[in-house]
Structure 1
């Protein structure tokens, strides 16, 4: 007999094991490296900072295959400590040797919170961002490395992150809901009563990660949070929140919000921005889609306002929850909490 399973709250050791195990497979590294927007942004930002990296000591937090460490040596770094917790570190050693950089890059297996470096560093580089910026991100580890190993006046690449939100119409969901109304014409069976059930299944509380078409975004995005990596604290990451205000472009139906992020690299000439906006070339992060319980009609310049709060899930501190309170035009204020489904944790026995 089947029974409803309850997701088990994982202790930190289990959370970390699941997280790092996901990086032992080649697929995720292939996906990240094949993301030209991501990889080229890091390479360009590192090379543009060659004056700041020349003859300096660098810490690469979550080095993976070691590509960012190699970029740093190409930019003139004297020494790079590539810290990596999962077994992909063994492949990083091979790649670094293949590129004749084993005298300048030292791969250290372990988490940055547990390893011991022989010296402090002048630069920290890390690709720590997750879906919706904070889902399964390594930002807490970067902050630990900053406080433990970075010299005063040192640089962090990237140094700033911003979160943005915009109302949108998600047409696939609308098409799926309309499907039940087509059954009578197609087969002579009225199944329109399924619409409410289907809406509850489709417009649920899951954070859906998918690419958003620009024509489906219904206003200019609004920035609701900014993180300065030189000053933000781990405690502040327990609640990243902010207000937003958008004005709709024209007549449409809002059935979701789109959330995305940017990160900024300091550069001598001008900052370099890596954006996951739907208005920019697609990245492997895509965008986070948050479905409303019911669509709301808007016209030109309808005001959409609210507040977003992002915080760690109770089940796993690495997983993000997004709580949105919003008002569309003259409608009453609504609220909804979203999370990314976790299929990796076992149900409670």
Structure 2
């Protein structure tokens, strides 16, 4: 399985410098529309609230650190759960609004809003709980998990609670004829006018970039594979820089292969439910395993799960899709195998470089692309 294993938590590393892109990133999160979209994502927000109340016994009377607090809603949930003190930290100007929201809810004695990067704030005490909504598209885009790791190593007490605690990134081949019909085949006949000459440009415009959109379970051709796993209690920042996983699928039906989809889920488990040392020491590079999309519901040690899978209720993360320029006609039981490498961009750590290699027996191809926040660009395709 491609996993991002844990090592014993070490002292916090020196904070990375704040780059011009970081400043642009924080500015983007000052816009009210971003927070409105997240708050209106009822799956996201209600799952966090349920997880906080599920772990109320570990939050009540304790000190909490909210990394990237936004409007402060998670911090306020923790205050409602009985936290003695909550440090709500955000580098974007939305922190100024969070201060007003805290005052409006008469929680200024409990919730302390700090307007700065988590790497630069001063907190004079250790905390019992760290909570953060750090997940980006494809789980790891935006690289906010690194800030959670920094906060964990610097402030979290031994045996403290981290929410969410674990995450899994899935990959599966998909079919989506309607997307091709709407974006490409539309040009064959436009009000009786032949425009097939537009199709190459249409493919380039539609599929040169990874696409964030919602698909259904009916679009998925096989069981997904887990290409990465994260244990927030133990993972180190260096392990996020690059990882590779291999995959092998067997198509469950005859259908055109149009591309590959990523989605993720996160679990909200307490420290007593951490994985064994043997599991935590697994290599981050290796073979993936096929898993039912709903296998998360079968794990006896999982309490609360937030899923972005196609068969579950949609979220603002949707799914991230990599479309092929030309569909491949798959037969039932035909194999698809290859590898996926995901790495942080050396130019901008919040971007992801994606290299996907696949082989169907009839065709072999390589895609390299770059995943950005709100601006997805495929670098090369050949």
Normalised TM-score (structure 1) = 0.89
Matched, 1:44 2:50: yes
Could you tell me which residue of structure 2 aligns to residue 213 of structure 1? 216
| Residue of structure 2 equivalent to 1:347 | none
- Confirm or deny: 8 A CA contact 2:350 2:372 kept in the other structure: no
Please give the residue correspondences for 1:140-151 in structure 2 after superposition, counting only pairs within 5 Å.
140-151=146-157
Q: 2:342 aligns with which of 284, 307, 310?
A: 310
**Structure 1: which 4+ aligned runs deviate by more than 6 Å?**
none
* Residue matched to 1:4: none
**The residue matched to 2:237 in structure 1 has which SS?**
coil
Deviation at 1:170?
Answer: 2.6
Residue in structure 1 matched with residue 365 of structure 2 by the alignment: 334
SS in structure 1 at match of 2:129: strand
Q: Give 1:240 shift.
A: 3.1
- The 8 Å contact of residues 174 and 220 in structure 2, kept in 1 or not, is answered as yes
Equivalent residue number for residue 5 of structure 1: none
Provide the secondary structure at the position in 1 that maps to 2:184: helix
1:253 aligns with 2:259: no
Structure 1 contact 173–202 (Cα < 8 Å) conserved: no
Conserved in 2, the CA contact under 8 Å of 1:208 and 1:340?
A: no
Secondary structure, aligned partner of 2:29: coil
Partners of 1:107 and 1:243 in 2: CA distance:
43
Deviations 1:1-58 (A, max 9, x none): xxxxxxxxxx952111111001111101100000000000100001000111121111
Quote how far apart the aligned CAs of 1:194 are.
4.1
* Counterpart residue number, 1:200: 204
- Structure-1 separation of matches of 2:97 and 2:198: 51
Distance 2:323 2:157 in 1: 44
Asked if 2 retains the 8 angstrom alpha-carbon contact of 1:290 and 1:338, the reply is: no
Give distance in 1, aligned partners of 2:229 and 2:211: 22
Instruction: Render the CA deviation track for 1:185-204: whole Å, top value 9, x for unaligned.
Output: 923x4x43443443333332
Deviation at 1:144, TM superposition (A): 0.3
Measured in 2, the distance between the counterparts of 1:97 and 1:76 equals 17
Q: How much does 1:342 deviate?
A: 6.9
**Does the alignment pair 1:21 with 2:27?**
yes
Counterpart of 2:189 in structure 1 is: 182
> Which residue does 1:294 correspond to in 2?
326
- CA distance in 2 between partners of 1:81 and 1:43 (Å): 17
Decide whether the 8 Å contact of 1:63 with 1:82 is kept in 2: yes
Cα–Cα, structure 1 residues 200 and 92, in superposed 2: closer, same or farther, change >3 Å? Answer: closer
Q: Which has the higher contact order (CA 8 A, sep 6+)?
A: 2
How has the CA–CA distance of structure 1 residues 197 and 95 changed in structure 2, closer, same or farther, with 3 Å as cutoff? closer
Structure 1: stretches of 5+ with no match in the other structure? 1-10, 345-349
On the 8 A contact 2:256/2:330 being kept in 1, the answer is: yes
* C-alpha separation in 1, matches of 2:23 and 2:47: 29
State the secondary structure of the residue aligned to 1:235: helix
Task: Give aligned pairs, total.
Answer: 329
8 Å CA contact 2:70, 2:90 repeated in 1? yes
| TM-score, structure 2 as length reference | 0.81
Q: Deviations over 1:60-117 (max 9, x none)?
A: 0011111101111111211111111111111111111121211111111111100110
User: In structure 1, which of residues 106, 110, 119 is the aligned counterpart of residue 116 of structure 2?
Assistant: 110
CA deviation vs aligned residue, 1:212-254 (integer Å, no higher than 9, x gap): 1322221222111101111111111001332222221211101
- Which among 222, 227, 230 is matched to residue 225 of structure 2? 222
Distance 1:23 1:343, change over 3 A: closer
Question: 2: distance between equivalents of 1:200 and 1:93?
Answer: 45
Give 1:116-195 correspondences, 5 Å limit.
116-175=122-181, 176-182=183-189, 186-187=192-193, 189=194, 191-195=195-199
Alignment CA distance shift 1:200-1:273 (3 Å): same
Q: Aligned to 2:244, which of 233, 241, 245?
A: 241
1-structure distance, mates of 2:260, 2:238: 27
